[in-house]
Structure 1
Amino acid sequence: MTNLEVFNNLNKQLFNGSTKFFDDAFETIFDTWSKVQSFPFYNVVKYSKGKYAIEMGLAGYNKENVLVEVKDGILTVEGKVDDKNVDYVQKGLAFRQFFKQFELAKDVVVDEAEMKDGLLKIKFGYNEPKEIEGVKIDIK
């Protein structure tokens, strides 16, 4: 068995086609699963207690060609490229469409997204669950 085969087998066993950001022991903020793919590269950054951001490297993309949407507990980031009107003499830079989804836990709220210097930053946090007050039931 080659090293590549060993790596591929281990990768399948560990990730089962998915990547999980946080496990329950690490301040479960949202249960995130994303298909394993290499583009776009991203970081998850913790700014303070309960405040996080996903940073995606999107050099060459502009905000008009990137969609950030939350629907039914799924954060979707999608990028499209429109270079049909460009007559390349030589093409050394690769721009491609991409699609990433992250499943959010029920208490996660996406605050904002901003694109600056080729970096898309999606800020989010979570609402602390409120304590459920007891209800007194009168006995008849």
Structure 2
Amino acid sequence: MSRVSMFSAPFLLGFDAFEERIDRMSKAADGYPPYNIERRLDAQGEETFTISIAVAGFAPSDLDVTVEDNQLLVRGRQKDDAAREFLHRGIAARQFQRSFLLADGMVVRDAELRNGMLMISVVRPKAEKIARRIEIRSA
């Protein structure tokens, strides 16, 4: 039995990969770590998105930011130090993976760790609208 979705409309061609990505991301919806997404427009119409992720306690070497198949992946892995003895442990050394689906043409500019916040800049350059005429051949 086939599944019907909003991407199965006959006029939406080639969007099946987006549906797979959205399904994959919805299954990975966890609340840790918390994050913000800000959007800014510059004078030329270029959009900049800043993703701020709260990663207090993580060193730059504990974090990994990659872009793969239009998906921004942020992973954090802390290692337990066996030499430390805790009398109380309220801050867990927790692993995480956050993923963000990027539209075509979006570029991850950079990532910066400052004051326990990982700030990732993503840019959508202003796209020029291109129209072209398609010649019709006769058989």
Alignment of 1:97-136 (within 5 A): 97-134=95-132
- Contact 1:108–1:124 under 8 Å retained in 2: yes
Deviations 1:30-78 (A, max 9, x none): x975532111000001233511100000111011110000011110000
Deviations 1:69-111 (A, max 9, x none): 0011110000001114333232222120001111111021111
Q: Secondary structure at the match of 1:85?
A: coil
Unaligned runs of 5+ in 1: 1-30
Change (3 A) 1:67 1:136: closer
Match of 2:15 in 1: none
Normalised TM-score (structure 2): 0.68
Alignment of 1:28-43 (within 5 A): 33=25, 35-43=28-36
> Of 22, 41, 44, which residue of structure 1 is paired with 2:37?
44
Alignment of 1:41-120 (within 5 A): 41-49=34-42, 50-90=47-87, 91-120=89-118
- Contact 1:107–1:128 under 8 Å retained in 2: no
- Flag as ranges the 4+ runs of structure 1 deviating above 4 A: 31-34
RMSD: 2.3
Q: Percent identity?
A: 28
Q: Secondary structure at the match of 1:53?
A: strand
1:130 aligned partner, one-letter code: E
2:126 aligned partner, one-letter code: E
More strand by share: 1
Q: Secondary structure at the match of 2:61?
A: helix
Deviations 1:2-37 (A, max 9, x none): xxxxxxxxxxxxxxxxxxxxxxxxxxxxx9755321
Q: Secondary structure at the match of 2:85?
A: coil
Q: Secondary structure at the match of 1:134?
A: coil
Question: How many Å apart are 1:136 and its aligned residue?
Answer: 8.7
Output the CA distance in 2 between the equivalents of 1:122 and 1:60: 18
Output the CA distance in 1 between the equivalents of 2:119 and 2:31: 18
Output the CA distance in 2 between the equivalents of 1:118 and 1:105: 28
Output the CA distance in 1 between the equivalents of 2:68 and 2:134: 37
Change (3 A) 1:88 1:47: farther
